[in-house]
Amino acid sequence: MPLDYDQLMATEVVNLPLSYNDSEAILYALGIGMGSDPLDLKELPYVYEQGDAFKTVPTLATVLVPDMFPPGLGWDFSQVLHSEQRLQLYRPLPAKADILIDKRVADVFDWGPRKGALFLFEAEGRLASDDTVLFTLGCTVMARGDGGFGGPTGKGPRPHRAPRRDPDLSCDIATREDQALLFRLTGDRNPLHADPAKASEAGFGVPILHGMCTYGIACRAILKTICDYDFTLIESFDARFTSPVLPGDVITTDMWQDGNIVSFRCTVKDRDEIVLRNGKCTLAV
């Protein structure tokens, strides 16, 4: 059954109540590998609740919105590919909060039967206490099995381009072989990240790491190198997913800094693969 454009554009959720606390913040930090050295005093505040010293990883916001792109939209969910993620923070994430979530289908573009449909999703998180905006999220999702439904044509947001020079600095972060099993507890329970048989059916030798885990690891690399672990410096974080990471891979994040804009790209050098590109991190001025 073809997609119903008008129905999709009317799909939204308003004022969804949600609470999180330091347990969710710590689990997310552990999921992207923080605390692997328990004696690292720079990372310890992200995985140990030390009162006022506790810190939150900015990209935690991306796992606070449940079902950012739900399966019940009339699409072939088995052919859905999360291709881009955008995050805007209006204030640093508190260690715990009661929030209200609005989320909607922002647009759907028809690229034809062979190429599929492009979905744009948006979400907003507000503090329940005073209704001020805490963060906004944007996702670009390719539904490869749903093109040709008669909808409008169009493109997603223009990707950020890194400077044409050698990176200003790089950061290597090793993933663990059990990393996907831990990160899935932040919300994405897709068996592709845990079940060897399902991974094999999809053409992978082992369950793959979540793209959103790679995204979080890129944020960790910028926190570590440019921000000296000051989480309040990161105001936005955008990237495009290009290739899966296998648990156990070493992810190299290359960075270019121009004022308060950090361009970044992630690679797995052992396979000479770019796994995340078009990265843009905006720092507080």
Give the residue numbers annotated as catalytic, written as ranges. 188, 193
Asked if 173 and 37 touch (Cβ cutoff 8 Å), the reply is no
Whole-angstrom distance, CA of residue 135 vs CA of residue 59: 10
CB neighbours of residue 106 within 10 Å: 16
Q: Which of 68, 53, 55, 52 is nearest to 16 (CA)?
A: 68
CB burial readout 138-167, b (16+ within 10 A) else e: bbbbbbbebbebebeeeebeeebebeeeeb
CA 16 to chain centre: 20
